Amino acid sequence: MATTAVKLSVLFVCLGNICRSPTAHGVFATLVDQAGYGDLIQVDSAGTGDWHLDHAPDQRTAQVAASKGYDLSELRARLVTSADFNQFDYIIAMDNANLKDLRAMQPEGYAGHLGLFLDFSEQSAVREVPDPYYGGEDGFELVFGLVEDASKGLLRHIHASHLQGTSYPAPGS
C-alpha cells in the first residue's frame, strides 16, 4: 500500500501560550513523531493574549514536561491570528474562554475543527484544561496528565478520520 499524501495541521491555543498550549504542543508533537506521522502532521501552539510574546514556556511547565521526557525548550509564545484559520485543520482550545475568543475570530466558511482539547480525552470527565499559572506544582502535574491523555485521543481520532486505510499504522500498534 502506498503512503498517503495527507498533510494535517494542529494548533493548540491557551491564554498566554506559556503553560497549557506549549505542553500540548510538545506532548502531541512527540507522540506524532513516535507514531511515524512526523511528515504528515504539523503541530504549533499560540495564545489569545499577548503578555508573553516570544517567551519560553513557564519554567514550571518546562520542568514538569522534562521530568516526563518532553523537551519544550525550542518553543516560544506567539499570538493566534486570523491567518491561523487558513493554515490549521484543527484549532484546539484549552478552555471555553479561549474557544469563545477563537470563535469570535473564526472566518465564515472555516472548514476545520474548532473545539475543546479535552473532547478528545478518554479518561477525563472535565471539559477544560485548567490554567495552572497562579497555582502550585500540583496544577502543572494535573495539566500534564490531562494533556497527555487528550493528545493520545486526538492522535487516535486523526488516524481514524484521516489515515485509516493508508500504510500508516494506528498509534501504538
- Catalytic: 131? yes
Domain ranges of the chain: 19-163
pTM over 0.85: yes
Indicate the SS3 state at residue 71: coil
Tens-place pLDDT, residues 109-164: 999 999 999 999 988 889 999 999 999 989 999 999 999 999 999 999 999 998 88
The owner of cell 516570544 is: 54
Judge whether residue 1 has pLDDT over 80.
no
What confidence category does residue 3 fall into, taking pLDDT thresholds of 50, 70 and 90? very low
Judge whether residue 4 has pLDDT over 60.
no
What confidence category does residue 172 fall into, taking pLDDT thresholds of 50, 70 and 90? low
Q: Does domain 19-163 have CATH number 3.40.50.2300?
A: yes
Rounded CA-CA distance 131/128 in Å is 9
pLDDT at 164: 80
Tens-place pLDDT, residues 8-65: 999 999 999 999 999 999 999 999 999 999 999 999 999 999 999 999 999 999 999 9
Q: Which helix (H) or strand (E) holds 13?
A: strand 8-14
In degrees and rounded to multiples of 5, residue 112 shows phi and psi of: -80, -175
pLDDT at 171: 78
- Catalytic: 19? no
* pLDDT, mean of residues 60-83: 97
Active-site pick, 19, 20, 60, 84: 20
pLDDT at 124: 81
- Catalytic: 50? no
Write out the three cell numbers for 149.
Answer: 491523555
pLDDT at 2: 40
Active-site pick, 58, 84, 95, 131: 131
The owner of cell 499524501 is: 5
pLDDT at 6: 61
- Residue closest to 51 by CA, chosen among 92, 82, 79, 84: 79
More confident residue, 57 or 170: 57
pLDDT at 5: 57
